[in-house]
Amino acid sequence: MRTKLFSLLLFSVIVWVSKANAQQLLDGYVAEAFKSNIVLQQKNISLDKAQLALKTARSLYLPTVAFSTTWSTADGGRNIPLPLGDLLNPVYTTLNQLTKTNNFRLLENQSINFLPKNYYDAKVRTTVPIINTDLGYNKQISEQQVSLQEFEVQIYKRDLVRSIKTAYYNYQNALQAVDIYKSGLQLANEGLRVNEKLLDGGKGLPAYVLRSKSEVENVNAQLVSAEQQVINARMYFNFLLNREANEKIDANFDNQADLNKATALIADLSVTGGREELKALDQLISINKTALKMNRQFAVPKLGGFVDLGSQSEGFHFNDNTRYYMIGLQLDIPIFTGNRNNFKIRQSNLDLKNAELNASLVAQQLNLAAKTAQNNLKAAYQTYQSSLKQFEAASSYQRLIEKGYKAGTNSFIETIDARNQYTAAQLLVNINRYKVLSAMADVERETATYSIN
C-alpha cells in the first residue's frame, strides 16, 4: 500500500514538474520576444514619442525665453529738414552782441534721414501664458494618447504571445511528424526485408518486392517534405524572436499537461471584460470628448505677457542710453471667424458619436470572437479524442495484419493498407493534438488571460 502511494505521489510530482518546465520554457520564449521582436520595438518607440509629446504639452505652461537681434544700415530715402540755424542763429547773434562774447556759437541747419545707419536692436524676450484654455485641454489629450499607446503595445503583445505559441506548436508538430515518418520508414524497410527473404525462400513474389521498394521511396519523399517543414517552422519561430534563422529551439517536452486544461477552458470562458481593445476604444472616446470641450471654449479670451530686456543704438554703442526694458500684455478675443468654430464643434460631435458606435461594434465582435474560439477549441478537442481512438484501432489492426501476413493468412496489399492506416492515424493524432494547443492559444488571446506584465 505504501509502495503504491509513494509511486502515485512520485508520478504526480513528475507531471507537475514537467508542466512547470513546459510553461517556464514557453514563458521564457515570450519574454525573449518582448525584448527583441522588431514590431514590438516599433510600438515601444511610438509609446516613447507619445510620452515626449506629453512632456512637450506640460512645458507649454512654462515661460519661454528667447534672444533676438537685428542689424540694419541704409542711405538715401526721405529726410526731415530741421532749420536750427535759421531759428536760433539770430538769437545767438544778439546774445553775443549783448555779452560782447562768442559764447553762443552759430548753428547749421540739419537734415535727418528716416532710415538708420549701422543700427542694431538686441533683446531677450520672455513670454508667459496667463489665460489659455487650449493648453490644459492639449495636456489632457496628450495624457490620454499616452494611455492609448500603452494599450496598443499590450494588444500587440497579446497577438505576439499567440503567434509564438502557435509557431512553437507547429514546430513541435513538424518534429514529431518527422519521427512518425522515420518510424514508417522503418516499417517499410522491414516489409521490404521480409518480402526479399520470402522471395529468396521461394515463397514470395517479385511484384511484392518492387511494391515494397516503391513504398520505401514514397515514405522517404514524405520524410524529406516533413524535414523541410521543420526548417520552415524553425525559421518562422526564430523570426518572431528576432533570432538567427537556424538557431536551436528547445522542444523536448510533453504537452499532455496543457492538453488536460482544454476541458476547463471549454467549460469556463471569461469573455471580453479585460480586453485592451475595449480599453483603448474607451480612451479614444475620452479623447474625442476632450477635443469637443476644447472646441467649445473658442470664445474664451487668451492673455499672455512678455518682458523685453535689450539694447538699441547706431554704431554698436552699448551704455545706459542704449539699454531698455519693455513690459506688456497681449489679449486676443475672437469676434468673427466665418462660423468655422461652430463647424469644428459639429465635427467633434460626429467624431465622438462615431467612436462610441465603433466601441459598441468592436465589443460585439470581440464577444463573437471569444465564443467562436471556445467552439473551435471544443471541436478540436473532440476531434483529437476521436483520432486517439482511430489510432488505437489502426495500431491493433496493423499488428494483426502483420502477424497474419507472416502466417500467410493476409495478403501483402493488406499489410500496405494497414501500415498506411497506422501512419495516417499517428499523424492525425499528432496534428489534432497541436490543433487543440493552438486553439487553446486562441482562447487565451480572445479572453486576454495571459499575464503580459
**pLDDT tens per residue across span 101-149:** 888 888 888 877 778 888 999 999 999 999 999 999 999 999 999 999 9
Cα 42 versus chain centre, distance: 7
Domain extent, residue 393, equals: 22-74+116-182+238-447
Amino acid at 391: F
The CB-side HSE value for 425 (13 A sphere, CA atoms) comes to 20
Does residue 227 fall inside a structural domain?
A: no
Does residue 111 fall inside a structural domain?
A: no
Cα Rg for the chain, rounded, in angstroms? 43
Confidence of residue 272 (pLDDT cuts 50, 70, 90): low
> By C-alpha distance, which of 154, 175, 168 is closest to 440?
168
DSSP notation for 30-80? HHHHHHH-HHHHHHHHHHHHHHHHHHHHHHTTS-EEEEEEEEE----S-EE
Beta bridge partner(s), residue 126 = 65, 307
- What span, in angstroms and rounded, lies between the C-alpha atoms of 30 and 27? 5
Domain count, the chain: 1
Does residue 364 fall inside a structural domain?
A: yes
Does residue 79 fall inside a structural domain?
A: no
Does residue 92 fall inside a structural domain?
A: no
CB within 8 A of 56, min separation 6: which ones? Answer: 142
> By C-alpha distance, which of 274, 189, 251 is closest to 446?
274
- Look at 71-85, 301-315, 352-366 and tell me which has the smallest mean pLDDT: 71-85
Does residue 200 fall inside a structural domain?
A: no
Q: What pLDDT, in 10s, does the model give residues 258-268? A: 777 777 777 76
Place of cell 546774445: 95
Here the CATH number for the domain that contains residue 387 is 1.20.1600.10
The CB-side HSE value for 204 (13 A sphere, CA atoms) comes to 21
> By C-alpha distance, which of 159, 175, 177 is closest to 249?
175
Does residue 169 fall inside a structural domain?
A: yes
- What span, in angstroms and rounded, lies between the C-alpha atoms of 90 and 120? 38
Q: What pLDDT, in 10s, does the model give residues 41-94? A: 999 999 999 999 999 999 999 999 999 999 998 887 777 888 888 888 888 888
pLDDT reported for residue 328? 95
Q: Could you tell me the pTM of the whole model?
A: 0.80
Does residue 132 fall inside a structural domain?
A: yes
